[in-house]
Chain A
Amino acid sequence: MKVKRVISLLLVSVMLCLALAGCKKASETNPDDGSNGEISDNFKGPSGNTPVVDGKIDTSKFVTVKMLVLGDPPAGGADKKMLEKLNEIFKEKLNAELEMQWIEWNNYETKYQMELVSGNPIDLIFTTSTWLSLWENAEKGAFMDMKEMIPYYAPKLWSDTKTEEWAGCTYKGKVVALPEHRKWQLSTPLFAYRLDWAKEFGIGEVDSVDKLEQYCKSILEKKTGVIPYNVGGSANSNELYAMWLRQDTDYVLGAGSVGMACPVTNKSYDEPWTSVSPVFDDKFLDFAKKMKEWGDAGFWPQDVMSATVDTKASFLAGTSGLYSMNVANYYPLYKDLADADPNAELGGFFFDEKRGFCIADVVTQDSCSITANAKNPERALMMYDMFQYDPEVYHLTQYGIEGVQYIVTEDGYRARPETYNEETDAYYWDMWSTRNDALEIPEYNPNQDKIDTVNAKIKPWTRINPWGSFIVDTSNMNAQVTAINEAGTTWLPAIQFGKAGDPVEAVNQYRDALKSAGMDDYMKEVEKQMKEYVGN
């Protein structure tokens, strides 16, 4: 008995010790300087390792900055060679060195969150508000407020960034992210299709849903063995819904939308502060009926909801007539398709063309933050400023070592040197937010004229994101958000592929599911927060 008691006492005390250790660590984070934001000549900085004294930055103490990016590191280790060169520059100019850590794509989301939870003292960390929960993590206190530091340590970035761009990086008064704002890009969704086939069918360019339908029907009639849209459904499928939203309605996706199914959207670009649900629009039922019709006609595989298909491979092999994507993946497709079939002609049906506008990416589409546990946020910001604005560092980080990864040709294009070997020299830089169009050396691309045509078409569509930094605080609506997300992932993919049985019944069930998930309460809360924000 006694032994048992001793052992159990020991166990309990060990557990208690661990629990208390956890508590202690948790309470000592979140540095607070309490300064008032005015730029003075003296600034201590959160770590004290890099103080500003009489307007000069004191870098006398050598420090190591840790940076975490997402991606599989280049297989040949070219990133390490680049880093050696880079550190020579940093040693000389900043008396610091950079350490890089990669998180492989496999299961990146969990690994990334684990890095944050574990309290690893990472200085620069990649983040994004669109696919890595920047705001949710900021809400949970994962990132440091950089507001006071930036003017001192990243002066170029500070002066080159507009107030509204900073506003887009601010969460509850804290600047928690660095903007991606000097690289123009537009996330506009589209269906890539075979222009040569469309011409063959006498349709010409596909630029409307009707023409798309015609194109698919013609494929079924005239191209045996080709599925108009060879695709496998998943909980994330939403491309046809995205097409419908942009072609048939005024709804825009923005602040307050939930998950990939987006059952909650905003009324229109002119009324961004009104929260609505397209699912309850009568037109949604028409959409569901149409999709059922398409599904029954065989526009996609009969068993789409349980199929696994590599649509890109199928499209390139000429067994799928469509491939859904974002414009960023459309540019390289010219080359891919030409490689696969030299006679093929690529076309793009841009969903946004009808409305003629596309809301620009938020400035936190790709972004960089400093974690709450960072040991050297000041020197990290100094490095970041050089990543984006120092030509030497920019070219080194973006393209690799000159002569190994790239050379500059006589006519000013960037090209691969003859010695370049993909296996050992492959190099890329995954801190995407530092890209800066002003410092780019363009690469020679035989399809450049086509890409330019696409860009000339879509560039005028760019509209500023009207919500700026407004973020819905869902901390007291967690259960509703999770339930709404579940209703969306359950019903939308099946409805948009016409595989949810009778469309009228399916739409009603989807609406009921959203209602019982608490969508009305959620929308009320969103509108309330929007009103408060606009009121300010």
Chain B
Amino acid sequence: MESRDGAVPIGKKKEKKRSFRKWKTSMKKDMPFLIMCIPTIIFFLIFAYLPMPGIYVAFTNFNYNGGIFGSPFVGLDNLKFITLSGKLGGLIRNTVLYNLAFLVTSHVIQITIAILLNEVRNKKFRKLSQSFLILPNFISYVLVGLFGFAIFNSTNGILNAVLERFGNEGVQVYSNPGVWPFILVFVNLWKGAGYGSIVYFAALMGMDREMLEAAQVDGASTIQRIRYITLPSLKPTMIILILLSIGGILRGNFDLFYNMVGSSNVILHNSTDVLETYIFRAMTNNFQFSTAAAVSFVQSIFGFILVLTTNTIVKKVEPDYALF
């Protein structure tokens, strides 16, 4: 403000000098923190930014003589194989729909779990149930696939044994595409919901208890407290988590699909074939890393654009909650 009093050029110079001095003092003040940041900065420099020019390999027909930057440039030819099959539309539809289903269901369930845990008064019971909820997260998808097979297989699976026991006819789950979206969403929930709820639970722990007590004194019921105090206080956390997961919407959950269904179970493909299982099939026996890099590049770009768009929308609606 003061610089406006003097002549413009001098003022500008003054301002620059001032801001530099300001920067210097703040640097001095924050030095310990900045030093603490250095390892992280170096980490990201080395593992995230330095390799970035290597993305160029996605646009080349790679050969060892030329290396990444000397190989012939082929533009978007590496992506041609997806369009050749004519399946691109279906694959993107499946991938996006599954991810949306995962996103919505998992956040709803995670928040529910967090609130329920928060309402539980018995500490021992809370700890125990929390452990049980988190456990599935540590089971590898390979095993989860085997669990699935033990339950659903038509010759000696648990499901059919139970059905037949009660006089019903057995079902052929592995050749019925209609049921798979439900199974996959359920498995994804079972595996991830408990672990994902930790973040929400932590947010609840940091909540101001006095508000809840005040509400209680005012005669608010439990439902009312959750509806008007707990849920709104989870909103920022939720928005951040959703923003983060939206970036991966074009990435499949390869482990889940590959282990639960297998990659070549054609009968189920209409409802289970996602981009990543397709790429897996196309790339096995066929070591083409330019092509693989090209696909991954497209997924990243798409995710990046999505995150930016969603963030802009959030910024318009609730400026305080935007990521950046």
Contacts and interface: CB of A to CB of B under 8 A. Distances in A.
B174 A305 contact: yes
Contact of B155 (A26, A302, A489): A302
Interface stretch (A10-18, A187-195, A267-275): A10-18
B194 interface: no
B67 A478 contact: no
Interface stretch (A133-141, A196-204, A346-354): A133-141
A499 B175 CA distance: 8
A301 interface: yes
A500 B266 CA distance: 6
A64 interface: no
Interface string A126-158: 000000010011011110000000000000000
* Interface size, B (range): 35 or more
B269 interface: yes
Contact of A141 (B63, B146, B261, B262): B63
A233 B174 contact: no
B125 interface: no
B53 A19 contact: yes
A482 B65 contact: no
A501 interface: yes
A475 B287 contact: no
A236 B284 contact: yes
Given A15-B49, A235-B284, A259-B285, A493 B81 contact: no
B299 to A, nearest CB: 17
A306 B262 contact: yes
B53 A233 contact: no
Interface stretch (A109-117, A426-434, A527-535): A109-117
B264 interface: yes
Contacts of B216: none
Contacts of A19: 53, 69
Interface in A462-492: 475, 478-483, 485-487, 489-491
B64 A142 contact: yes
Contact of A113 (B20, B61, B282, B287): B287
Nearest to A260: B285
B144 to A, nearest CB: 12
Given A235-B263, A235-B284, A483-B84, A15 B64 contact: no
Contacts of B68: 22, 26
A513 interface: yes
A303 interface: yes
A89 B153 CA distance: 60
Nearest to B273: A490
Interface string B250-266: 00000000001111111
Given A3-B23, A234-B264, A306-B261, A18 B53 contact: yes
B9 interface: no
Contacts of B69: 19, 22-23, 26
B85 A233 contact: no
A305 B68 CA distance: 38
A15 B67 CA distance: 16
A486 B281 contact: yes
Given A15-B50, A116-B64, A516 B153 contact: no
Interface in A15-32: 15, 18-19, 22-23, 25-27, 29-30
Contacts of B65: 26, 29-30, 140-141, 372
B167 interface: no
B78 interface: yes
B178 interface: no
Most buried by B among A133, A306, A487, A493: A306
B288 A482 contact: yes
A518 B49 contact: no
A504 interface: no
B34 to A, nearest CB: 12
A48 B288 CA distance: 35
A303 to B, nearest CB: 4
Given A307-B149, A475-B61, A113 B289 contact: yes
A301 B155 contact: yes
A483 B282 contact: yes
Interface string B278-320: 1011111111110100000000000000000000000000000
Contacts of A109: 287
B264 A481 contact: no
B23 A25 contact: no
The secondary-structure label for the interface of chain B is: helix
A308 B287 contact: no
B50 A14 contact: yes
Given A3-B23, A303-B155, A475-B61, A25 B67 contact: yes
B119 interface: no
A480 B269 contact: no
Nearest to A21: B69
A517 interface: yes
A50 interface: no
B213 interface: no
Contacts of A367: none
B66 interface: yes
A475 B62 CA distance: 10
A487 B264 CA distance: 10
Contacts of A119: 64, 67
B81 A478 contact: yes
Contacts of B64: 29, 116-117, 119, 137, 140-142, 372
Nearest to B173: A303
A301 B63 contact: no
Contacts of B267: 305, 494, 499-501
A471 to B, nearest CB: 15
Most buried by B among A15, A22, A308, A486: A486
Contacts of B264: 233-235, 237, 305, 489-490, 493-494
A506 interface: yes
Contact of A139 (B63, B78, B291): B63
Nearest to A497: B264
Nearest to A7: B41
B6 interface: no
Interface in B114-161: 145-146, 149, 152-155
Most buried by A among B78, B175, B265: B265
B291 A136 contact: no
Most buried by B among A233, A475, A483: A483
Contacts of A487: 85
A494 B266 contact: yes
Contact of A499 (B67, B146, B265, B287): B265
A15 B174 contact: no
A490 B288 CA distance: 18
B266 A235 contact: no
A491 B86 CA distance: 15
Given A489-B284, A500-B266, 17 more contacts: A11-B45, A140-B64, A141-B63, A141-B64, A234-B264, A235-B263, A235-B280, A301-B153, A302-B172, A302-B174, A306-B149, A308-B145, A308-B146, A372-B64, A480-B81, A482-B283, A490-B264
13 contacts: A15-B53, A27-B70, A29-B65, A30-B65, A140-B63, A142-B64, A259-B285, A306-B262, A307-B153, A482-B81, A489-B285, A494-B264, A501-B266
Query: Top 8 nearest A-B pairs by Cβ distance?
Result: A26-B67, A141-B65, A479-B80, A486-B282, A140-B63, A305-B265, A482-B81, A494-B266
Interface of A: 2-3, 11, 14-15, 18-19, 22-23, 25-27, 29-30, 109, 113, 116-117, 119, 133, 136-137, 139-142, 233-237, 259-260, 301-303, 305-308, 372, 475, 478-483, 485-487, 489-491, 493-494, 499-501, 506, 513, 516-518
